[in-house]
């Protein structure tokens, strides 16, 4: 399966989820993205994933990602990259092991793909 096929399948499934599809960027989030730029937002996503999702053991897993306060947090809930259980269910990456750089970059790319779709719709 190509990346494009996987993303099409993933985003179709996320769109069918009542919970995941309920997340959207608010105007203040879009303003923040426009002010900071997508490169900075991508860097924030990298930092959040590295700190909150990448460790093998996360003491507060399932509660480490706020529901609002930063566009990346909203995107993480929309894309099921918010905790290791959601990552396991939606992205097939098993918990209990530290995420590799490739896995972290994949999650960041999913987040940024969603954000870019949100700001162009």
pLDDT tens, position by position, 35-45 = 999 999 999 99
Which pTM does this prediction carry? 0.94
pLDDT band at 54 (very low <50, low <70, confident <90, very high): very high
Scanning the chain, the segments in alpha helix (DSSP H) are 3-16, 27-36, 38-48, 71-78, 84-91, 101-120
pLDDT tens, position by position, 79-115 = 999 999 999 999 999 999 999 999 999 999 999 999 9
Chain centre to alpha carbon of residue 55:
16
* Cα dist from 64 to 3, 15, 69, 107, 118, whole Å: 28, 23, 13, 16, 23
Query: Domain-by-domain residue ranges, the chain?
Result: 3-120
Rounded Cα distance, 53 and 103, in Å: 10
């Amino acid at each position: 399966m190509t990346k494009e096929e996987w993303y099409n399948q993933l985003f179709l499934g996320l769109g069918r989820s009542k919970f995941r599809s309920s997340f959207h960027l608010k105007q203040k989030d879009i303003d923040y993205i426009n002010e900071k730029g997508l490169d900075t937002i991508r860097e924030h996503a990298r930092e959040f994933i590295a700190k909150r999702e990448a460790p093998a053991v996360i003491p507060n897993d399932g509660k480490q990602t706020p529901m609002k306060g930063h566009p990346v947090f909203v995107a993480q809930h929309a894309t099921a990259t918010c905790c290791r259980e959601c990552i396991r269910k939606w992205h097939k990456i098993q918990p209990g092991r530290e995420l590799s750089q490739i896995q972290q970059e994949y999650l960041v790319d999913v987040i940024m793909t969603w954000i870019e779709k949100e700001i162009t719709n």
